[in-house]
Structure 1
Amino acid sequence: MKVKVICRNPDEYLRETKTDLHKVPRNYDPSQHPLESVREYVRALNATKLDKVFAKPFVGNLSGHRDGVSCFGKHPNRLSTLISGAYDGEVRIWDLANRASIRSFVAHSGFVRGIAFSVDGSNLFTAGDDKTVKMWHLGNVEDTEIEEPSNTFMSRTIITGISHNIKESVFATCGEACTIWDVNRNDPLKTLKWGNDNLHAIAFNPVETTLLSACGSDRSIILYDKREAQPIRKLVLSMRSNKLSWNPMQAFNFTVANEDCNLYTFDTRQLTNPIKIHYDHVSAVTDVDYSPTGKEFVTGSYDKTIRMYDVHKSHSREIYHTKRMQRIACVAWSLDNKYVFSGSDEMNIRMWKARASEKLGVVRPRERSNFNYQNTLKEKYAAHPQIKRIARHRQVPKHVLNAQKKMNAIKQKEKEKEANIRAHSKPGTKPFVGEKKKLIIKED
């Protein structure tokens, strides 16, 4: 007689802990699991609540500056190195692993307006109010001696910003005009100007490396190509933009931080209206920086809060604040996509987790698979009212809450006024104008 026997490998049933607990075979037939969706919903709800329980975003602070922090520089090759500049002209190099300053020197007499790194990260460029750009050779970062700059570039006008090309030994500065410099020459290669107004922020595109853009004091955003003899495009908004950041993964998209408490994401191929308007701040937005994935960005504002946005969403997913933190002057997102840095007026640099409830340190495989399973459930049931309410709720400072109520009331009254004017006017004389269309005043 022939007997067929099912043979299975017992290693497939033993858990990773090598105990006597065995895996149970599962039947994936939906008819056998009528309560599966109910169980998944409860697990998603519990995972959302646990995110609130374990949300401890503040990692630590870096103290040592004697004046407000004005700008950041991220080292392209060393994740543990951060450069900061202050209002008193001091530049400090920080070791993030030990949260200590490993070198400090006075670079300029006046504000440090910008910090940039060379392509290989061996040289540091600082721009200040003393009309100079200084190049510092980093070498060994543990060397604490105060050194002299390896080169100094003299400008005829005050420099308010600097950005270095990530592929060539070329950097750009802004002030009364956009100036292109070569590292090996002390005279500028090119000066690009459009109008008589000053520029206060400049940024090279990290993908299309010949393209750069600047924010002007006449509420304009100007696009340049360093190969051209003149600027390419100019866009005038209703209010002034303070900072600009390019998306590192989408070459044509950039986001500007505006004085009207909002941020605007534009596509350079179609500048007639922004792709998305990002709300929630209640005071002027001072700085913006993208994550290395290009999916999110962090912002700092005069309302003493830091917010993180999804590129495709109008409202922030996270808000960070402390009682002692004052007006935010600069923000930065680390290149490993795990941390966010903020510099404020009270001489402090704060280090935050990019995801408030993320576990730091070693994560074991079973723990990681559990986190992935919970994240999948949260995404699956994200639209459920109860889960959505818990996930979106944030405690905000009292002055921010009161300002939000006031701004919402003003917006509602303006909408009602426009609707009444339109209702009591001749048809077609007062057409409806969307928020995106109101923003753009002129495009050249």
Structure 2
Amino acid sequence: MKVKVISRSTEEFTRERCQDLQKVFRNYDPNLRTLEKAVEYTRALNAAKLEKIFAKPFIGAMDGHIDAVSCMTKNPNHLKGIFSGSMDGDIRLWDLATRKTVNQFPGHQGAVRGLTTSTDGDRLLSCGTDCTVRLWKVPVLKMIDPNESNEDYSQPLAVYVWKHAFWAIDHQWDGNLFATAGAQVEIWDQNRSEPINTFEWGKDTTVSVRFNPGEPDLLATSASDRSIAIYDLRMSSPARKLIMQTKTNAICWNPMEPMNFTAANEDCNCYTYDGRKLNEAKLVHKDHVSAVMDIDYSPTGREFVTGSYDRTVRIFPFNGGHSREIYHTKRMQRVFCVRFSCDASYVISGSDDTNLRLWKAKASEQMGVLLPREKRKLEYLDAVKERYKHLTDVKRIVRHRHLPKPVYKAAALRRTMIEAEKKKDERRRAHSAPGSMPVQPFRKRRIIKEEE
């Protein structure tokens, strides 16, 4: 004999934290909810306004260096650790949670120009203008007692001396090799005192070098002769070279799309290229009003952060032409280096005023633990803002930013100059023979020539 009974679980009808509150069930039939679009638009507008109210991106400054911060690197094995090097030869390991120095690595006699960590995260490599590359052992943050001395980590494991000053360094993503940039591009092995390979294309100084995250034998460099070159360690000669109208200060590969890289240029713009097709840029990222000094991609590959000579930090979407966020303070000077944290939640910037600054990647993000209902609410508001972002009021509120007065005036002047140049080209084309002045897009016009 079968008996049918009604079984109701308490969890299905009450909220997760408050057992005395009933869940609210809604019927999403559009025939019953005729004003749904109007309600969602109002929610999107309120969410955009609240985002501006709660936007407090600056977390704190890390003070300790006595000269300008020139370079930074992060450790893939330790989420809260960041290394920084300054112009007086000082290298420090910082704990982002406490914003204090954990350890110092003395030894360089001149400016530290490059920092990188090995594949396993146990070794730190530094290079500088004193013609040396130093290999350090990395301390584990949780094992360090601040009351004890860290003498084991203050002496380098190895010192590589060479003929010329170094301007950049980067380690292979998978392997024991690392590359240095200077008068030439040298490939080093940690177990050898001299470089195992040397690349040279032109006689000018190489200012940056980055290994490809997807293809360990591929690396990209930029030089002071305005060139961007791609080298393959399996070949005896360089692979591709690109010459632009202005110098490129830094290069960064997209970790999720390793065929693409973005170059930070002196002409205030960033250019995203496909490494397989260098005759034109895929995208031009505009907004800075002075030279872009450094660039770093988020671990997700969806955003990148830039630091500029105009004393601002900007965050760009990887497929957007304009920045979604700008960070600045009254005391921050020219920004020489920027990095995303390993969890893509924070941005660290190093500037000329000897400070490292910690920022939130999302200015209005709530710090701390969120309940499941709070997470769902925030996700819903983000989806609503995304849905109505093209409408006038929502777009205006989301895009509005307060800029420092010098940056605001420089941006207005830059717009005037670009409009004048555009009008001049149009008039010159109108008074020339048809076809004598071909129209060329900006992403191609900035490239002088490409060599193979």
- Shorter-chain TM range is over 0.9
2:150 match? 144
1:31 is paired with a residue of what secondary structure? coil
Counterpart of 1:411, as a letter, is I
Q: In the alignment, is residue 226 of structure 1 matched against residue 233 of structure 2?
A: yes
Residues 344-385 of structure 1, C-alpha deviations (whole Å, 9 max, x = no match): 011000000000000111111111111111111111111111
Which of 289, 295, 313 is the matching residue for 2:302? Answer: 295
**Take 2:415 and 2:275, find their aligned partners in 1: how far apart are those partners?**
31
Matches within 5 A, 1:34-45: 34-45=34-45
Q: Distance in 2 between matches of 1:111 and 1:433?
A: 42
Return the alpha-carbon distance in structure 2 between the equivalents of residues 240 and 255 of structure 1. Answer: 14
1:17 correspondence with 2:17: yes
**Cross-structure match for 1:205:** 212
CA distance in 1, matches of 2:25, 2:308: 54
Amino acid of the structure 2 residue aligned with 1:309: F
Supply the distance in 1 between the matched residues of 2:129 and 2:9 (Cα, whole angstroms).
Answer: 72
Alignment of 1:327-406 (within 5 A): 327-406=334-413
Judged with a 3 Å threshold, the aligned counterparts in structure 2 of structure 1 residues 430 and 377 are, in CA distance, closer, same or farther, namely same
Give the match's secondary structure for 1:363.
coil
Compute the displacement of 1:234 (Å). 0.2
SS at match of 1:124: strand
Quote how far apart the aligned CAs of 1:18 are: 3.1
Cα offset for 1:195?
A: 1.3
CA contact (8 A) 1:59 1:353 kept: yes
| Aligned residue type for 1:174 | A
| Residue aligned with 2:263, SS | strand
SS in 2 for 1:186: coil
Deviations 1:216-267 (A, max 9, x none): 1110000001111111000000100000001001011000110000000000
What amino acid maps onto 1:21 in structure 2? L
Shift of 1:119: 1.3
Q: Which amino acid aligns with 1:286?
A: M
State the Cα distance separating 1:156 from its structure 2 match: 1.4
- C-alpha contact 1:107 1:126 (8 A) present in aligned 2: no
Distance in structure 2 (CA, Å) of the matches to 1:237 and 1:403: 24
Shift of 1:138: 2.0
Q: Secondary structure at the match of 2:377?
A: helix
Aligned residues: 442
Structure 2 residue matching 1:399: 3-state secondary structure: helix
The answer to whether residue 287 in structure 2 is matched with residue 280 in structure 1 is yes
Aligned partner letter, 2:150: T
CA distance in 2, matches of 1:410, 1:129: 38
**Aligned residue number for residue 86 of structure 1:** 86
Q: CA deviation at 1:140?
A: 4.5
Output the CA distance in 2 between the equivalents of 1:96 and 1:346. Answer: 19
Q: Percent identity, aligned pairs only?
A: 48
Cα distance in 1, alignment partners of residues 369 and 13 from structure 2:
26
Letter in 2 for 1:334: S
- Unaligned residue ranges in structure 2 (runs of 5+): none
Q: Deviations over 1:41-68 (max 9, x none)?
A: 1111111111001100001110000100
Name the counterpart of 1:249: 256
* Alignment RMSD (CA, Å): 1.5
Indicate the residue corresponding to 2:75 in structure 1.
Answer: 75
Q: Is the 8 A contact 1:84 1:93 kept in 2?
A: yes
Per-residue Cα deviation, 1:102-134 (whole angstroms, up to 9, x for no partner):
111323111101011111111111001111101
Helix, strand or coil at the partner of 2:105:
strand
Q: Give, in whole Å, the separation in 2 of the partners of 1:105 and 1:26.
A: 61
Which whole-Å deviations, capped at 9, do the CAs of 1:136-156 have from their partners, x for residues lacking one?
A: 112445253362211011111
Whole-Å Cα distance in 2 between the matches of residues 323 and 24 of structure 1? 48
Distance of 2:312 and 2:262 partners within structure 1: 18
Segments of 5+ residues of structure 1 without an aligned counterpart are: none
Alignment of 1:19-58 (within 5 A): 19-58=19-58
Q: Retained in 1: the 8 A contact 2:44–2:385?
A: yes
Q: Which moved more, 1:152-161 or 1:51-60?
A: 152-161
Residue type matched to 1:374 in 2?
A: L
Letter in 2 for 1:14: T
Query: Structure 1 length as normaliser, TM-score?
Result: 0.97
In structure 1, what is the equivalent of residue 275 of structure 2?
268
Per-residue deviation, residues 279-329 of structure 1 (Å, max 9, x unmatched): 010000000000000010000001000000001110000000000000001
Partner residue, 1:216: 223
1-structure distance, mates of 2:134, 2:21: 65
